[in-house]
Amino acid sequence: MGVSLAWVGIKSATAAAVQSKLGLAETGERGDYYDFPIAGLILPNDWYLLTAKRCDHPVRSDHVLSELSIGTTVVACSIEEHVMFVRASAWSNGREVWSMQHDGNDAAVMDLAVQGSPPESFNALRERCVAQQAADGGKDNVDYVFEIPLELAKSIVGFKHDEITSEIDSESFWALRQGTTGLLTAARKPWWKIW
């Protein structure tokens, strides 16, 4: 069984400020990020990390990312391992700076759509993963191109959903609950509801 997850890193943001903007509150429970529908953690490198089950969680919507990035930088990932789909993007001051998407299920394994201007480290990362994919030739059934957006996002924020690092205590995530106000409430409203 694969992971379906959305995560967002907000640079130099306090947990209270992000939670207030989104309409979230801590429940008092702590654990691994995947123990809760939505969780948060202050990372040691000055990023606040939010994780949410389901790759299409509203925390990953363009409207929410645009609002969260005003005055700072935001990096976001959507991961659906069941179909080898991943999307990563960076936002700054309300605008998307770059994005990349890999869909290893419906498209060729080498599929990687890139928009905007990713960091310089992207080119070397892409070359390495594409070379690994070509060398594998499908014999190990590994999707190395899937790793490109994840590795790039990790190089910026310091988090990768399927890695354990000494900098992040996996049992230190705070469980969050959604209230009735905030950006997430507006993002969840069906398009046909005008009230």
pLDDT in tens, 121-150: 999 998 998 888 888 776 767 788 889 999
Tokens at residue 138, please?
A: 């499908």
**Measured distance CA(48)–CA(72) in Å, rounded:** 12
The number of C-alpha atoms within 13 Å of 30 and in the hemisphere containing its C-beta is: 7
What pLDDT score was predicted for residue 107? 53
Contact 48, 8 (CB under 8 A): no
In this structure, the number of other CB atoms found within 10 A of the CB of residue 113 comes to 11
194: pLDDT strictly greater than 50: no
Q: Give this prediction's pTM.
A: 0.90
All residues at 6 or more sequence positions from 195 whose CB lies less than 8 Å from its CB, including other chains: none
The predicted-structure confidence for 44-79, as pLDDT tens digits, reads as follows 999 999 999 999 999 999 999 999 999 999 999 999
Mean pLDDT, rounded, of the chain: 89
Tokens at residue 133, please?
A: 């994919």
Which sign does the torsion angle of CA 114, 191, 180, 175 carry?
negative
Mean pLDDT of 3-31: 95
Contact 83, 91 (CB under 8 A): no
The predicted-structure confidence for 98-123, as pLDDT tens digits, reads as follows 999 988 765 577 888 999 999 999 99
